[in-house]
Structures are given as structure tokens and as C-alpha cells.
Amino acid sequence: MTMATSRRRTAQQTLASLGFAAIIVAGCAAPGAVATTPPASAPPAAESTEPSASASAVASVPDCGTEPVKLNIYHETISELMPQLSAEFTKQYPNVTFDLKSDAFANATANLPRLLSGDNPPDISRAAQLIDLAKDGLLLNLDPYATAYGWDAWPQAQFESVRINEDFKRGSGSIIAWPVNPSTVGVFYNKDLAAQIGMTEPPKTVEEFDALLAKAKAAGLQPIMEWNASTSGGGLAFPLQNLMAAYGDHTKINEWVYLKEGATIDTPEFLQAAKKLEEWIKAGYFPEDVNAIEYSDAAGRFGKGEGVFTFNGDWQNGGYNTDLPGKVGFFTFPESVGQSAGVTYVIAAKSKNPDCAAFFLNWAWTNEKAREIDVAVGGASPGGPPDGSVPSVPEGSVTAETLAAGAAVNANSGAMDFIANATSSIFFESWTPDLQKLVGGRITPEELLKNAQEHWTTSQ
Amino acid sequence: MSAPASPSITTRRTPRLLRGVRRDHLVGWLFVVPALGFYVMFVLQPLVLSFQYSFYDWNGVGVATWVGLDNYATVFSDEELLNAIFNAFKLIFFFSVIPVTVGLVTASIIRGAARGRFGTVSRTVLFLPQVIPLVAAGIMWNWVLAKSGTVNQILSAVGLGEITRAWLGDFDWALAAVGVIGVWVLLGLITLLLLTGMSKIDPALFEAARIDGASAWSEFRHITVPGVRNELAVCLTITVIAALSAFDVIYISTNGGPGFATLVPGLKIYILAFVSRDVGTASALAIVLMLLVLVTILPIQRLVRESDS
């Protein structure tokens, strides 16, 4: 009996340990190297930035052909752009159907690398962090399509933020994403409240802005409505960046966002901006509970008339037009300089229908019906060709003002990319917690910039 | 059931592995296999893989490089990570101490005084937080704890207007505010578990005590608490694990902020793996967290076993 028991136990133990051993053996190779596909491990730059190599793979003017094609699209849940564009496209090209999947922005950003590295990646995806994806060889080089569709002859500023070079720095090199509807961030204002504090035209200097904020505070109004809760990300990055552009040179900010070697945000000019932001915080120009305010709360409270100003982007136009029709104005600060970057979509390197995907994206820029959708949904000029029509929007709506401001920014070459987008973790790991600490008086403006610069260096 | 495979078990060709296994045990094993398969696939394999990943510098997609113990060195030297681990231990007070203490008292009150409909209603109300999806609950709590929320309205009404604040956005109070949400989530579960344990205590004991003139307090101390000792151990184990590996409550209410005031290891692992794309350090922190949980849980188990014998 005892022997039988002990033998049984041995057998069980053997079974168990064998199972365990199998798992350990199975997991023994280095994780990345197990990847079944070569593109992930091959140096992607050498492969994808060679225009001649890929150019041959593209037909003279690629399109969707006549055979049935199904395009898979992975987009941001709150954006209606892809659902509406795809429906219109199927009307015009009945052989093309779509399978749309979406996630909230933060989840989509987290899932995308794994989706793109899988064997059946979405053909077109919304991607905000381009560099890491490009380093892993997950993005299709769009240069051949740029040549085929004549994007080369269009205004090139719109492509600056989606170009990436051999060293994986943005700003020059090959086009790896489709930037549409460059959204403009600036200052929205409540026209009634602005009139109340005697604002007749948008402030042009920091001093003028200061004076208006002080008047608003004295009048018992909430001078600026903003969000800064971790769940939404630090919204104070918007006023900070606008102040940085007011004190310093916005092209220096772009160099920093594009990870240009030797770029720094820790300069005397930008420090002045951070100090001014701290001054605004201490003066009570932001809501006292700003660290607990989420994006949707801030947008909603501004819409209910709480706040003379709010720093936000034109994607919120729809909400403001509904909440305060005809009563919201918009200006960029400083004048004709604004945080403005296209909403970027990428084609997967492993896409099964790259030509049709590219044709669809080009169509979305050039087709008149598509451009109407772009403006209606995106609230911004779609970009694209210089002669592209910009559909008319209702006079007096805030969209009319953001469109005009966006055009002025472009004419001035005043577009700058978001400081939150420099590296994939800098917004959550540096800007957001540190801006909250600045509100709470736990760090100095000097530390804010020093920490951001350190994170910029270590997280590339 | 008996037909297949039976002869082969006893023949010489039986695989060496199975030689000691009797037929009825083999059938037993067959029953276990599906569950075991899932367990191996979804518990053991991720565990082993995490352990392996923790020795690499890997972004989850590209090529991984072996870095030895570097990731562990990061975990133990990074002030922010240590702060996260420290926060998790502070949460034990809210996730474990308060729910178990209050749950014990509540359960014994419900057992003693609230039979019938009132008992059912109070059980349902207390258990409700377990049924409500946590994401919905998180949004509700964001409102309740906001600057103009219910908590502050009540405080103002009773003349405590000057201590009102945006609780989830306050550096000193955010962790406690998150803890209160944890109490709300766990209290009902703990109460119900303890109530079930109390229903197993022989009512004759309470009767005898009452005849002997024991007070409610000595009834509670000498009959109720010893009677639910095992349930208490289960409750402590569950809640301590919930505190140390907290993620969902914090993810939806504060996302670690303000600053890093409510950052906990569970959330940090997520941020490292999916935002910073540093799977190696995330895995190392996960392994350290697992060991911390084990080290904290084992004494609780031993405590119960000792008092058992």
C-alpha cells in the first residue's frame, strides 16, 4: 500500500514536473527572437527608406482594382471619420468593403504594436506614436504612393511631422503616415464673458493676456477652464506650450518633439514660460481642483459658461457649437503660431491590401465628398492638395474661426507638434505628473523642465 | 466508461510515466485535464514567461537583449517604483483592515438582530458593489469625491466647509480617497463571507451563553470570532492580495495621480508594459510583486494553522 502510494506520487510528480519543464523549454528562446516574421528583426530603416526597392512594387497609379477587397481599419472610438469615409467610399467603389474596429485612444495606442506585428494586421490604423512602430518595422513606407499620387507637389509642411529618417528622427526622410485634418490647438473664449471683461480683440502679448486674466479674476469669473487629471492626461501642457512659443522659438519646440540630437527644452526662454504658468496657477486663474478635472468635465463646464478662456483643440468644436452656439470664439496664442499636427493614420507593413489602402487614403484627401466629411467630422481643413476645396461652414460658428486660424498658422509656418508626443511615455511619466506637482506646489518650474529633458533623453 | 484503454494500462507497453497510475486514477486525471490545461496555459505559462522576460530588455515586438538582473536592480533602486510598493502596503489598511473589522461587526449584527426581510435587504445592499461594474462605480465615485460632489456637500452642511477639497486630486488625500472606494467594494463581500461562516456556528452555543448571562460583547469575543476563524483567514488573504495587487480601482479613479501619489505596482506594471513598452522591467516588477504578496500572505496562513492545532 505504501509502495503503491509512493509510486503513484512519483508518477504524479513526474507528470507535473514534465509539464513544467515543457513550458520552461518552450519559453527558453529570447522573447523577441521567437518572432516568426523577419521584418520585426530585420533593420527596418535600411529596408523601408530605400525608395527604389519599394517603388518597383507599386503600380503606376495604384487603386483598388475591380475584385472584391475588404479593408480592415482600426481607429479611435470617439472619431467618426473612418466610419463615415468608409461608408462613402463603398458607395463610390462597391467592390471595396470595410471591417472597422475601434478602441479608446489610450487602449488603441497600447494594443497597436501587437496588432501590427500579428499575421493579420489592420490595413489602416490610427497611430499617434510613430517612431517606435517604425523602429520595429511595422509601418509601410508611403514614399512610393507619394510619388504615384503626386503628393510631392503638394504643400510639404503638412508632411513634416510624418517623415522619419534613417536614424528614426522625425521631420525629414520617408513618409510613414497619412496626416489628415491638422487640428489646431489654441484658446477658445466665451464671447459673452470676454465682452464683460472688456476684451475687444484677442491678446497678442503675454502682458495683454495677463491683464485680461486679472480682470476676469477680479470680476469673479473663472479665468481659465482646464483639465489636469491623470485619467485624461495633463491638460496644462497646452497653455505651457503656448507660453513657450510666446517666449521662445516654436521651431525649437518642433526640434525637441522630433527628437533632434542636442535639442533641449530646458532653456531660459522656456523657463520663463513655465514660470508664467506657475504664476497663473498661484493667481488662481485655473480651477482650484484642476488636478481632479477630467477632459470631458472641463469641456462640459466651459460649455455651461464656467471659464472665460480654455486651451483646447478644434476637435471639440462640435461640443462647443452645441453648448454655446455662436458664442465661442477662437484665437491662436501667440498670433498665428499653434500646436497643430495632422491626425495620423498608418498602413501596416504586413497589410494584405496596401495599394487599396493607399488609394483610399488619397481619395479621402482629394474627393470632394470625402473632404466634406473631413471638415464636418474633423473640424479642420483636411490638408492635402493646394487646390483642394474647403467646404463652407456656417458663418459665426467656432469652426469658421478655427479654420481661419489653422490657415493663418500654415501661412505663417507656425505649426508646432505637441510636446506630449515627443516619446511614447513622456506624457504619462513626465508631463502629466509634473504639471500636477506644479499645481500642488511640489516642484519648481526649473524642475519641471529639467525632469522633462531627462525623461526625453532616457526614453528615446 | 470502463471500456476504453483499460487493457493497455497493464501491458508492458505502458509508458513509464503512467506505470504507477491505477486505472481509476487515470480516469480522475482525464477529468482534471481540461481544467489543468487552462491552468497551465493561462496561469503557469504567463508566470514562467514573465519570469523569463524579466531578464531581457524588450519592447514587446522587436528583438530582445539579455540584461541579466538589470531590471531587478531598476525595481529596487527606482524611487518611483519603491514609492509604488509602499503605497500598496498603505492600501492594506483600507482594503483589508477596515473591511474585515467592519465586516465582522456588521455580519454579527445582521446575524443577531436582522433576521427576515431586513437581513435580506441589508445583505443585498452590502453586496451590490460586487455586482456593479467597477468602471461605472469609478465614474460615480469621481462625482461623489469631486470638488462639488456629495461628500463635500455633506461636509459643508455640517459646518466642515473649510476641509472640502477635490479628494482624488489632492496630494495628501488621494490615496485615502481611493482606499475608501476599496472599502466600499470589498465590505459587502467580506460581510457576506463572514455571515456564511457564522451561520455554521451551532445556535445552541449562543443560547447557552445567553442563559449563562454572557454579554453581547463576550458572545462576540468567545463564540462568533473563534467560530469564523477560518473565514477570517480567507477574508484577510483575499483583501491583502487585493490591496497589494490593486489595479482597477486606481486605474479608473486616479490613474496614479496626482503626481505619483496613488501609483501602485499593479498600475506601474501596466504603464511600463503598455505605455513605456518596457516589458522587461514590467515583468521584473510583476515577479517582485508576486513574491511580496506571497511573503505577506504566508504568515496569515500559518497563523490560522497554528491556532487550529
Q: What is the pLDDT of residues B210-227, one digit of tens each?
A: 888 888 888 888 888 888
Task: Name the one residue in this structure whose C-alpha cell is 463571507.
Answer: B193
pLDDT class of B124 with cuts at 50, 70, 90:
confident
Give the model's pLDDT for residue A39.
33
Residue type, B225: V
Closest residue of chain B to A34, computed from CA coordinates:
B63
**Dist CA B201 CA B180 (whole Å):** 31
Q: Is the pLDDT of residue B110 over 90?
A: no
Whether B155 and B33 share a structural domain: no
Query: Å from B258 to nearest chain A CA?
Result: 6
Give the model's pLDDT for residue A53.
37
Whether B271 and B150 share a structural domain: yes
Chain B positions in Cβ-Cβ contact with residue A437 (cut-off 8 Å):
171, 258-259
Instruction: Look at B259 and A437 and tell me if their CB atoms are within 8 Å.
Output: yes
Closest residue of chain B to A443, computed from CA coordinates:
B259
Helix intervals (H) in chain B: 6-10, 23-39, 45-53, 70-77, 79-92, 98-113, 116-131, 134-144, 150-157, 174-199, 203-211, 216-219, 225-227, 229-244, 248-253, 265-270, 279-308
Residue B296 lies in a domain: yes
Whether B111 and B50 share a structural domain: no
Instruction: Look at A442 and B171 and tell me if their CB atoms are within 8 Å.
Output: yes
Query: Å from B38 to nearest chain A CA?
Result: 13
**Dist CA A415 CA A340 (whole Å):** 5
Q: What is the pLDDT of residues A18-32, one digit of tens each?
A: 444 444 434 456 666
- Residue with the bigger pLDDT between B269 and A26: it is B269
Lowest mean pLDDT across A53-62, A106-115, B158-167: A53-62
Closest residue of chain B to A227, computed from CA coordinates:
B169
The domain containing residue B25 runs over which residues?
21-70
Residues contacting residue A245 through CB under 8 Å, at least 6 positions apart: A253, A333, A334, A337, A416
Residue B5 lies in a domain: no
Q: Which of B48, B70, B92 delimits the end of a domain?
A: B70
B248 and A CB contact within 8 Å: no
pLDDT class of B269 with cuts at 50, 70, 90:
very high
A8, A18, A113: residue with CB nearest B277: A113
Tally of CA atoms within 13 A in the half-sphere of B238 that contains its CB: 17
Beta bridge partners of A340: A184
Residues contacting residue B162 through CB under 8 Å, at least 6 positions apart: none
Residue B31 lies in a domain: yes
Q: Which of B37, B53, B70 delimits the end of a domain?
A: B70
Give the model's pLDDT for residue A110.
84
CATH number at residue B218: 1.10.3720.10
Closest CA to B112 of B214, B193, B212, B219: B219
A335 and B CB contact within 8 Å: no
Residue B1 lies in a domain: no
Q: How many CB atoms lie within 10 A of CB B27?
A: 14
Q: Where in chain A is the domain with CATH 3.40.190.10?
A: 43-182+342-378, 183-340+403-458
CA distances from A288 to A28, A222, A292, A373, B195 (A): 53, 10, 9, 39, 44
Whether B60 and B141 share a structural domain: no
Cell numbers given for B160:
466642515
pLDDT class of A49 with cuts at 50, 70, 90:
very low
- Residues of chain A with pLDDT > 70, as a percent, come to 87
Residue type, A338: G
Give the model's pLDDT for residue A387.
75
A340: left (phi over 0), alpha (psi -120 to 50) or beta: beta
Residue B11 lies in a domain: no
In the predicted model, what is the mean pLDDT of residues B242-252? Answer: 92
Q: How many CB pairs under 8 A join A and B?
A: 156
Query: Å from B42 to nearest chain A CA?
Result: 12
- Identify whether the C-beta of residue A184 lies closer than 8 Å to the C-beta of residue A409: yes
B54 and A CB contact within 8 Å: no
Chain A positions in Cβ-Cβ contact with residue B45 (cut-off 8 Å):
23, 26-27
Q: Is the pLDDT of residue B18 over 70?
A: no
Beta bridge partners of A345: A126, A178
- Identify whether the C-beta of residue B192 lies closer than 8 Å to the C-beta of residue B123: yes
Residues contacting residue A115 through CB under 8 Å, at least 6 positions apart: A74, A121, A122, A125
- Tell whether the torsion through CA atoms of A298, A301, A306 and A308 is positive or negative: positive
Residue B12 lies in a domain: no
pLDDT class of A7 with cuts at 50, 70, 90:
very low
Mean pLDDT score of chain A: 85
Residue B13 lies in a domain: no
B204 and A CB contact within 8 Å: no
Whether B39 and B131 share a structural domain: no
A18, A40, A228: residue with CB nearest B62: A40
Q: How many CB atoms lie within 10 A of CB A274?
A: 25
Task: Name the one residue in this structure whose C-alpha cell is 469658421.
Answer: A400
Give the model's pLDDT for residue A328.
94
- Residue with the bigger pLDDT between B165 and B122: it is B165
Tally of CA atoms within 13 A in the half-sphere of A208 that contains its CB: 12
Whether B61 and B153 share a structural domain: no
- Identify whether the C-beta of residue A184 lies closer than 8 Å to the C-beta of residue A238: no
- Identify whether the C-beta of residue A212 lies closer than 8 Å to the C-beta of residue A279: no
**Which 8-state DSSP code applies to residue B246?**
-
B123: left (phi over 0), alpha (psi -120 to 50) or beta: alpha
In the predicted model, what is the mean pLDDT of residues A286-298? Answer: 93
Topology annotation, domain A43-182+342-378:
D-Maltodextrin-Binding Protein; domain 2 (3.40.190)
B146 and A CB contact within 8 Å: yes
Number of structural domains in chain B: 2
Chain B positions in Cβ-Cβ contact with residue A12 (cut-off 8 Å):
21
pLDDT class of A331 with cuts at 50, 70, 90:
very high
Closest residue of chain A to B50, computed from CA coordinates:
A27
In the predicted model, what is the mean pLDDT of residues B257-282? Answer: 92
**Which 8-state DSSP code applies to residue A224?**
B
In the predicted model, what is the mean pLDDT of residues B280-295? Answer: 94
Whether B140 and B183 share a structural domain: yes
Q: Is the pLDDT of residue B278 over 80?
A: yes
Instruction: Look at B257 and A136 and tell me if their CB atoms are within 8 Å.
Output: no
Query: Å from A332 to nearest chain B CA?
Result: 29
- Identify whether the C-beta of residue A394 lies closer than 8 Å to the C-beta of residue A400: yes
Whether B164 and B245 share a structural domain: yes
Q: What are phi and psi of A125, to 5 degrees?
A: -135, 150
For residue B258, is the peptide bond before it cis, meaning its omega torsion is within 30 degrees of 0?
yes
Q: Is the pLDDT of residue B190 over 90?
A: yes
Whether B34 and B153 share a structural domain: no
Q: What is the pLDDT of residues A302-324, one digit of tens each?
A: 999 999 999 999 888 888 988 99
A12, A27, A287: residue with CB nearest B52: A27
Residue B9 lies in a domain: no
Residues counted in chain B: 309
Chain A positions in Cβ-Cβ contact with residue B79 (cut-off 8 Å):
none
Cell numbers given for A333:
496664442
Chain B positions in Cβ-Cβ contact with residue A40 (cut-off 8 Å):
61-63
Q: What is the pLDDT of residues A419-439, one digit of tens each?
A: 988 888 899 889 999 999 999
Give the model's pLDDT for residue B136.
87
Chain A positions in Cβ-Cβ contact with residue B168 (cut-off 8 Å):
229, 292
Query: Å from B244 to nearest chain A CA?
Result: 21
B141 and A CB contact within 8 Å: no
What are the E-state strand segments in A380-457?
415-416
Q: What is the pLDDT of residues A220-244, one digit of tens each?
A: 999 999 999 998 889 999 999 999 9
**Dist CA B66 CA B56 (whole Å):** 4
Query: Å from B265 to nearest chain A CA?
Result: 14
Q: Is the pLDDT of residue A363 over 70?
A: yes
**Which 8-state DSSP code applies to residue A348?**
B
Q: What is the pLDDT of residues A243-283, one digit of tens each?
A: 999 999 999 999 999 888 899 999 999 999 999 999 999 99
**Dist CA B185 CA A21 (whole Å):** 40
Give the model's pLDDT for residue B20.
59
Give the model's pLDDT for residue B133.
87
A454 and B CB contact within 8 Å: no
State the virtual CA torsion across A222, A106, A185, A171 in degrees, nearest 10.
Answer: 150
Give the model's pLDDT for residue A256.
94
Instruction: Look at A110 and B274 and tell me if their CB atoms are within 8 Å.
Output: yes
Mean pLDDT score of chain B: 87
Lowest mean pLDDT across A188-192, B97-101, B223-227: B223-227
CA distances from B295 to A204, A255, B288 (A): 61, 49, 10
Q: How many CB atoms lie within 10 A of CB A373?
A: 22
Domain A183-340+403-458, second-level architecture? 3-Layer(aba) Sandwich (3.40)
Query: Å from A325 to nearest chain B CA?
Result: 26
Which of B61, B142, B167, B271 would best serve as a mutation to test chain A binding (most A beta carbons within 10 A)?
B61
In the predicted model, what is the mean pLDDT of residues B41-70? Answer: 92
Q: Is the pLDDT of residue A392 over 80?
A: no
Say if residue B45 is exposed, middle or buried (CB neighbours under 10 Å; 0-12, 13-18, 19+): middle
Query: Å from A168 to nearest chain B CA?
Result: 15
Lowest mean pLDDT across A320-324, B117-121, B284-288: B117-121
Chain A positions in Cβ-Cβ contact with residue B142 (cut-off 8 Å):
292, 294
Whether B136 and B98 share a structural domain: yes
Chain B positions in Cβ-Cβ contact with residue A19 (cut-off 8 Å):
40, 44
What B124-128 contacts at long range (C-beta under 8 Å, 24+ apart), as own/partner pairs, is B125/B188, B126/B187, B126/B188, B126/B191, B126/B192, B127/B188, B127/B189, B127/B191, B127/B192, B128/B188
B15 and A CB contact within 8 Å: no
Whether B25 and B111 share a structural domain: no
Burial B78-105 (b: 16+ CB within 10 A, else e): eeebeebbebbeebbebbbebbbeebbe
Beta bridge partners of A178: A345
Closest residue of chain A to B23, computed from CA coordinates:
A8
